[in-house]
Amino acid sequence: MPKVVIPAERRKAVGDAVVRIMIRTGVEGASLRNLADETGLSVGAIRHYFESHDELVVFTMREVGLRIRQRAATRFGRLPADGLSSAVLVAELLAELLPLDRARREDMAVWLAFIGVARTKPSLHEVAAEHHEHTRRLISRILDRAVDRGGLPAELDLGIECFRLSALLEGLTMQAVLHPQRSTPDLLMDVLRRNVHSLTQS
């Protein structure tokens, strides 16, 4: 009996192959020919699931962005009723958005490669804007919950602090991807904890 191919699963598998290629060679290496070699599919088979190379790249960028956010969002959704009752817990949750292990470093490296292209490519710029907005909302929800649970002061300007932490996380991520030897996980966590703790002194 021939194997049943589920389109959504095949699209995800092709997107994962794009990520593997980008980890090795960057965006420029993710050609259909290289992708065919990576997956064992023909170029025609890949085009069956993606009408164009641009559609494939947009799909992959969106999947990577979702994966980056989902780690923190999933942990946030599993918090107990008294979760985020301290600045320490807030920092631990926000740390899910940092490249502290190999999987997250690879995702962030691929994301930054996409961002470099997005500056001049409207379709990718749109995905980047979506991710930024989703991440900002997630950070805002985390801070709001922490205030509600007594982990952070009620008088915080959540708009400003959300922007500050978003910028901090993005900066730490770039440092970790570009300078992994200097930007160790321990250093990233120390900087994040210090910044989150500073919110309690507002």
Asked whether 135 and 97 are in contact (CB, 8 A), the reply is yes
pLDDT at residue number 109: 95
Nearest to 124 by CA among 44, 56, 195: 56
Look at the chain and count its residues.
202
CA–CA separation, 43 and 182 (whole Å): 41
Q: What is the pLDDT along the chain (202 residues), one digit of tens a residue?
A: 445 567 888 899 999 999 999 999 988 899 999 999 999 999 999 998 998 999 999 999 999 999 999 999 999 999 988 889 999 999 999 999 999 999 999 999 999 999 999 999 999 999 999 999 999 999 999 999 999 999 999 999 999 999 999 999 999 999 999 999 999 999 999 999 999 999 998 6
- Mind listing the domains of the chain with CATH numbers? 1-51 (1.10.10.60), 57-201 (1.10.357.10)
Q: Report the pLDDT value the prediction gives residue 183, as an integer from 0 to 100.
A: 95
pLDDT the model gives residue 17: 94
**pLDDT of res. 1:** 44
pTM score? 0.90
**According to the model, what pLDDT value does residue 5 have?**
60
Q: Report phi then psi at 12, rounded to 5.
A: -65, -40
pLDDT of residue 202: 61
